[in-house]
Structure 1
Amino acid sequence: SGVAVFTGKANCPDYAKAELLADYLQANLPDFRVHKITQHPDKWEQWLHDICEMNGWEHKQSPIVWRELLDRGGKGLLLGGVNEFLDYTQHYYGITSVKLTEEMLGIAEENLQAHIEIEKEGEETKSLIKPLQIWITSASAPICYQLIPLLANGEVFGMTTEISIHLLDTEQFKEVLCGIVMEAEDMAFPLLHSISEHTEVDEAFIRADIIIVLDDVLLNCEVQSLEDYIREVSEICRVYAPLIEKNAKSGARIISSGKTFVNLKAMMIMTYGPSIKPENVIAIATSWESAAKAMLARKLSTNAAGIKDVIVWGNITGHKYIDLSHAKLYGYDCAIWGPADFSHPLLNMIYDSEWIDSEFLSAQSSLSSRIRHCVGMLPAHAIATILRYWYHVSPPGEIVSVGILTKGQFCLPEEIVFSMPVRFQNGNWEVVTELEINEKTQEVLGRIAHELTQEKLVALKEIKEMHPYGTDKTTS
C-alpha cells in the first residue's frame, strides 16, 4: 500500500495531465491514493532542488511523481515525470491518459488560478492574525524571565489571543536576552507568535500595544544622593516617552513595575510624553497587596484568598500606607457563619490591636526588603494579574490598588502618580471614590503626597533637594 505524490508547477500542462490520470485512478482503484502538491511557478525550481537533495533523487522537470511507502518507512520511491508515470500506469493498470493538449493547457491555467487564490486566502488569513505587541524594558531583569510564561500561557489575554514579545535592554545584556528568547521559543507556547531581543533603543516600542517598564536603579545612598537617583530615573523616562509617542500605538497601555521609583517612572513617562493618555499608564502595587494579605493570613491562620480589599496607598516603592480599614475576611472559621458571600471586617477578627500598630507596621519594613530582593515571581505575578484585570475585569466587588495620575480624588494634590483603590471593567479602570477616609488616613496620605510631589519637582529639576513634610520650601 502507498500514496502517489504529485508535485508540479501550477501552470504546467504535463502536471495537469498526470493529475487527471491520478484522479481517475483514485476514483476507480480501491487501493490507489493520491496526494497533490501544487507549487507556484516562481517557487518551483527551488522546491524541486530541495526535495531532490533531501531524498537523493535526480529530476529536472515538472511534474515530479513518487510513491510514499507507508508500510516500509524510509524515503519515497521516485517514479519520475509525466512520461514515466504514464508508463507506470499502463504497465500496472493498463490505463493511459486520453485528454488533448488544448484541454491540458486549460486545466493548467485553472490550476494556476486556483493556486493563486489559495495563496491569497492564506495571506489574508495571516494578515487577520494580529498578535498583541508587548515590549518589556530592562528585560534582562529576573522579573521578565518569570513574566514571559505568565503572558504566553493564555490566562492573561485569553486563549485566542496571540502575542509577540519584544525584549529591550542595553548591548551588554544581548547574550542574556538571546538566551531568554531561545528558552521561550523552546517552550513552544501555542499563543506566543514570536519573541525577539532588541538593543537599539531608537527601534523601541514599534507598534506596541503594551509596554512594561522594568528599569531600576541600584539604590545606594552612600554612593550618590537620593535626588541623583531620581534624576537618573527621570532621564531614562525622557528617552522612552518620545519613542512611545512616536512608535507605539496611540492606545498603548504602559505598566510601571520594578523595585524602585515605580510611581516616578509612570509620572515622568506621562510628563515627557504629553500625548500619552494618563488613563493608559499605571504603576503596579499588587506585590504589596498580596504580600500584606499573606502576612495577615499567617496571623489569622487562614487562607490568603479569603482576604479582600487591602488597600495600598501612596508611593509604591517608597513610603506607602497599607490600609486595613476596608479589608474583609471571607470563609473564616469562627463563631459567626454565613453564606459564601458573607464577610467579616478583617480588623474585627484581629483581637490583638497592638499587633496592628506594632508588629504589622514593623513587618512592612522586612516586607520591603523581601520584595526588593525577590527573584521576580511576586512582581511578575502582580503584572500578569493587573494585565488580566485590565483586559477583562477585576473580581466583582473587589478593590485593587494601582498607581494612577491624581485628579483631586481623596483630597490629594493633582498631577502626581499615587496608589489608590480602583476597579477594572470593560478595558478601563475607575477609582473607588465612595470609600470613606478617616482623619488619620488622610494625614498619612498628605505626607506621602508631599514626598511624591518632591520627587516630581526634583525629577523636573525645579528643586535640587527634597524637603521634609511640613516645610514650605518648594524651590531651590
Structure 2
Amino acid sequence: MAKIVIAGKSECPYYARAELLGDKLARNLPNFQLHKIVQQPDDWENWLKNTCNERGWQHMKSPIVWRELVDRGGKGVLIGGANEFQEYAFGYYGIQSDQVSNDMNLISKENRQYKIDIVKEEAEFKARSSPIHVCITCATSPVCYAIINSIGQGDVFGKHTEIALHLLDTNDKLEELEGLKMEAEDLAHGLLREVSVTSNTKDAFKNCSAIVLLDDLIQNPEEDKSAWIKRNSSHFSAYAKVINDAALKNVKVLLTGNGPVNMNTYMMIQNAPNVPRQNFVGLSRRIENNAKAVVAERLKVNTSGVVDLIVWGNVNGEHYVDLTRSRVHGYDGAIWGPPSFSLPAPEMVWDKPWMEKDYIELVKTRHEKMTENLKHTPSMSAGGAITSMLEHWWMGSPAGQMFSLAVCSEGWYNIPDGMVFSFPVTMVSKGYWNVVQDIDLSEEMKTAISATLQDIQSEKDVLFPPPTPPPTESKVTIIDPKDEEEQQEKSEKTESSEGEKQDDSEGEKTDPKLDTIEEEKTGSTTEST
C-alpha cells in the first residue's frame, strides 16, 4: 500500500493545487493514503533542506511530493513538485486537477491563515503546560537508554507530570545524542513534552528539578587510587558549581555509577551551598537489589518479595549488607498468609555459615558474573535501581519498608556529622527521605560499620590530609667565623697548659713501694757504720 506525502509553504498556490488534487485522489481511491505537511514561509527553506539531505534528494521549490510504501518504510520515492504530481496522478489513475489560478490563490491564503491559527493554538497549549526539567548526564550510556522510557511514560515522576528531558554528554557524542533524541520522541509518550541535547553543562542543568549523574570515571591501569579519587572529586565538584548557579534551589541530585559515590556526593555538597545538602544522595539501591536477588534465589521466591535488607557504609567500597531485619513475602513454607504476610529471612535461610561467608561472597561477585556473562556492563538492572529510587523519592516509598541510601549524616549511629554514609531510610513523605534511627546494633554490626567508616575516612584523607604534628624544637646558635677561630685558639692553649701541668705533677709523684725500699737501704747503712 502506498502513501503520498505533500509538503509545502502555507502561502504557496502550487501547494494548494497539489493538496486539492491529493484530496480528490483520496476520495476516489479506496487504498490511497494522503499525508500533508504545511510549513510557515520562514521555516520552509530550512525544513526542505534538512528533509532533502536526510533522504538524498535534490529539490528547491514548493511543494515537494513523494511516495512511501507503508508496509516497507524507507526514505520513499521523490515524485517532484506540483506539475510532476499532476502528471503522476494522470498517468497512474487518470485523474487531473481542474483548479484555476484564482481558486489556487484563495486556497493558499486560507492555508496560510489556518497554519497561523494552528501555530498560535500550539503555543497557547505549551504555555499552559508546565513540565519539570530533568537532566541525565553521560546520556549515551546504556543505562540512560534503559531509563528514558520509564521516565517518559510516567513511572518515575507521576502519571500527570510532564517532562522536559535534557540529555548531556561530550561534544564528540552529540551525533549519538541526536539519534537518542529521535528515538525518545518516537516513543510517542504524551508526558514527554520536550527532549533537548547539549554538551554545555549550564544549558543542561538550567531550571532542573531532578538531575541523574551517570558519569563513571574508570580507574586507569596505571592510575593509583589516590589519583583516581582526586580526578573524581574535580569532575563532580565542577558539576556542583554549575548546579549551584543554574538549577532550581530545590533540585534533587542522584549520583550513580561504580566510582567513589560517597566521596563524590560529599564533594558536591561542599561546592553547592545554595542547594540543601539533603538533596544530594548516592545510589545504594543497585547493591541492595543484588543482595535481595541472592536471598531470593536461595529461598526460591521473587526478588521483590525480599524487603528491609540494608546496605551500610561506602557504596562502592567497604560496606556491610545487613540481613538481620530482612523479611520475605511469598515464601513456600509451612505457614502461609495474605500478600502482606512476611517471615524473617534469616530464619527461613537457617544457615548461619552460609550467611556469614558464602552469601557475602555471592553479593560481591554478582555484578562481575553478570558482566562476564553479558560481555558488557549490566545496564537494565542499574536503570531499574535508578528509576525505582527516583520514583520512591518523588512519589513516596511503600509504607512499612526500609531501603538503603547514601546521605549526609547528622550524627546518626555515631557517624560523624557531614559524612556521606549509606543508611536505612524511608521515603513515605513525597520528596523527602528519613533515616530509620531506632535500630539496635549488635557488637558485630558496630565493628563492621566502624570498618566501613574507616574506609570512607581514608578516601576523605586523600582530599583533605590530616594535619601533621609540628617537629620538636631545637636551639640553634650561630657563631661568627672570627669568634670561632679565637675560641679554637683559646681551647688549644688551655689544652696545652693543662698538659704541661699534668706532666709536672706526674714527675713529682713517686711510687710508695720505691720510697719504702730507699728508707730500708738508708737504715741498713747507718747500722753498719
Shorter-chain-normalised TM-score: which range? 0.7 to 0.9
Residue 166 of structure 1 aligns to a residue in which SS? strand
Aligned to 2:137: 137
The alpha-carbon deviation at position 388 of structure 1 amounts to: 0.8
Describe the superposition over 1:365-408 as per-residue Cα deviations: whole angstroms up to 9, x where unpaired. 21243477633111111110011111111011011111100001
Aligned to 2:413: 410
| Matched residue type, 1:198 | T
Residue 11 (structure 2) pairs with residue 48 (structure 1): yes
The alpha-carbon deviation at position 173 of structure 1 amounts to: 2.1
Tell me, in whole angstroms, the C-alpha distance in 1 between the residues paired with 2:216 and 2:121. 46
Q: Which moved more, 1:286-295 or 1:450-459?
A: 450-459
Aligned to 1:149: 149
Residue 180 (structure 2) pairs with residue 177 (structure 1): no
Rg: which structure is higher?
2
Tell me, in whole angstroms, the C-alpha distance in 1 between the residues paired with 2:151 and 2:426. 21
The alpha-carbon deviation at position 46 of structure 1 amounts to: 5.7
Aligned to 1:386: 389
CA-atom RMSD, angstroms? 3.2
Describe the superposition over 1:214-241 as per-residue Cα deviations: whole angstroms up to 9, x where unpaired. 1112124x41110111100110122111
Q: Which moved more, 1:347-356 or 1:152-161?
A: 152-161
Aligned to 1:72: 28
**Candidates 429, 446, 449, aligned match of 1:445:** 449
Tell me if the contact between 1:67 and 1:78 (Cα under 8 Å) persists in the aligned partners. Answer: no
Aligned to 2:462: 458
The alpha-carbon deviation at position 453 of structure 1 amounts to: 2.4
Aligned to 1:271: 270
Number of residue equivalences: 387
Aligned CA distance change for structure 1 residues 325 and 474 (closer, same or farther; 3 Å): farther
Q: Which has the higher contact order (CA 8 A, sep 6+)?
A: 1
The alpha-carbon deviation at position 191 of structure 1 amounts to: 1.9
Tell me, in whole angstroms, the C-alpha distance in 2 between the residues paired with 1:474 and 1:280. 37
Aligned CA distance change for structure 1 residues 77 and 227 (closer, same or farther; 3 Å): farther
The alpha-carbon deviation at position 312 of structure 1 amounts to: 0.9
Tell me, in whole angstroms, the C-alpha distance in 1 between the residues paired with 2:338 and 2:9. 70
Aligned to 1:194: 194
The alpha-carbon deviation at position 82 of structure 1 amounts to: 8.2
Tell me if the contact between 1:174 and 1:197 (Cα under 8 Å) persists in the aligned partners. Answer: yes
Give % identity. 30
Tell me if the contact between 2:17 and 2:104 (Cα under 8 Å) persists in the aligned partners. Answer: no
After the TM superposition, which residues 318-357 of structure 1 pair with which residues of structure 2 at under 5 Å, given as runs?
Answer: 318-357=317-356
Tell me, in whole angstroms, the C-alpha distance in 2 between the residues paired with 1:474 and 1:355. 46
| Matched residue type, 1:301 | K
After the TM superposition, which residues 254-293 of structure 1 pair with which residues of structure 2 at under 5 Å, given as runs?
Answer: 254-293=253-292
Aligned CA distance change for structure 1 residues 474 and 397 (closer, same or farther; 3 Å): farther
| Matched residue type, 1:454 | S
| Matched residue type, 1:164 | A
The alpha-carbon deviation at position 116 of structure 1 amounts to: 10
Tell me if the contact between 2:294 and 2:363 (Cα under 8 Å) persists in the aligned partners. Answer: no
Residue 374 of structure 1 aligns to a residue in which SS? coil
Aligned CA distance change for structure 1 residues 84 and 226 (closer, same or farther; 3 Å): closer
Describe the superposition over 1:189-246 as per-residue Cα deviations: whole angstroms up to 9, x where unpaired. 22222222211234331111111111112124x4111011110011012211111011
After the TM superposition, which residues 210-229 of structure 1 pair with which residues of structure 2 at under 5 Å, given as runs?
Answer: 210-220=210-220, 222-229=221-228
TM-score w.r.t. the length of structure 2 is: 0.67
More helix as a share of residues:
2
After the TM superposition, which residues 84-123 of structure 1 pair with which residues of structure 2 at under 5 Å, given as runs?
Answer: 123=123
Aligned to 1:358: 357
Tell me, in whole angstroms, the C-alpha distance in 1 between the residues paired with 2:206 and 2:380. 27
Tell me, in whole angstroms, the C-alpha distance in 2 between the residues paired with 1:117 and 1:48. 14
Tell me if the contact between 2:323 and 2:346 (Cα under 8 Å) persists in the aligned partners. Answer: yes
Aligned CA distance change for structure 1 residues 389 and 46 (closer, same or farther; 3 Å): same
Q: Which moved more, 1:176-185 or 1:139-148?
A: 176-185
Tell me, in whole angstroms, the C-alpha distance in 2 between the residues paired with 1:121 and 1:474. 72
Tell me if the contact between 1:315 and 1:452 (Cα under 8 Å) persists in the aligned partners. Answer: yes
Aligned to 2:380: 377
Tell me, in whole angstroms, the C-alpha distance in 1 between the residues paired with 2:349 and 2:195. 48
Aligned CA distance change for structure 1 residues 474 and 228 (closer, same or farther; 3 Å): farther
Aligned to 1:24: none
Contiguous gaps of at least 5 residues in structure 2: 1-7, 37-96, 107-112, 471-529
Aligned to 2:203: 203
Residue 135 of structure 1 aligns to a residue in which SS? strand
Residue 299 of structure 1 aligns to a residue in which SS? helix
Aligned CA distance change for structure 1 residues 303 and 67 (closer, same or farther; 3 Å): closer
The alpha-carbon deviation at position 172 of structure 1 amounts to: 2.3
Aligned CA distance change for structure 1 residues 53 and 154 (closer, same or farther; 3 Å): farther
**Candidates 396, 400, 415, aligned match of 2:399:** 396
The alpha-carbon deviation at position 80 of structure 1 amounts to: 6.7
| Matched residue type, 2:398 | P
The alpha-carbon deviation at position 47 of structure 1 amounts to: 2.2
Residue 71 of structure 1 aligns to a residue in which SS? helix
TM-score w.r.t. the length of structure 1 is: 0.74
Aligned CA distance change for structure 1 residues 159 and 79 (closer, same or farther; 3 Å): farther
Residue 244 of structure 2 aligns to a residue in which SS? helix
Residue 307 (structure 2) pairs with residue 308 (structure 1): yes
The alpha-carbon deviation at position 250 of structure 1 amounts to: 1.0
Aligned CA distance change for structure 1 residues 279 and 438 (closer, same or farther; 3 Å): same
Aligned CA distance change for structure 1 residues 458 and 55 (closer, same or farther; 3 Å): same
Contiguous gaps of at least 5 residues in structure 1: 1-44, 59-64, 86-111, 464-471
Describe the superposition over 1:414-453 as per-residue Cα deviations: whole angstroms up to 9, x where unpaired. 1111111111122211111122222211221112112212
Aligned CA distance change for structure 1 residues 72 and 120 (closer, same or farther; 3 Å): closer
Aligned CA distance change for structure 1 residues 189 and 362 (closer, same or farther; 3 Å): same
Tell me if the contact between 2:156 and 2:387 (Cα under 8 Å) persists in the aligned partners. Answer: yes
Tell me if the contact between 1:66 and 1:79 (Cα under 8 Å) persists in the aligned partners. Answer: no
Residue 407 of structure 2 aligns to a residue in which SS? strand
Tell me, in whole angstroms, the C-alpha distance in 2 between the residues paired with 1:376 and 1:474. 48
Tell me, in whole angstroms, the C-alpha distance in 2 between the residues paired with 1:407 and 1:368. 31
The alpha-carbon deviation at position 83 of structure 1 amounts to: 12
Tell me if the contact between 2:288 and 2:311 (Cα under 8 Å) persists in the aligned partners. Answer: yes
Tell me if the contact between 1:237 and 1:272 (Cα under 8 Å) persists in the aligned partners. Answer: no
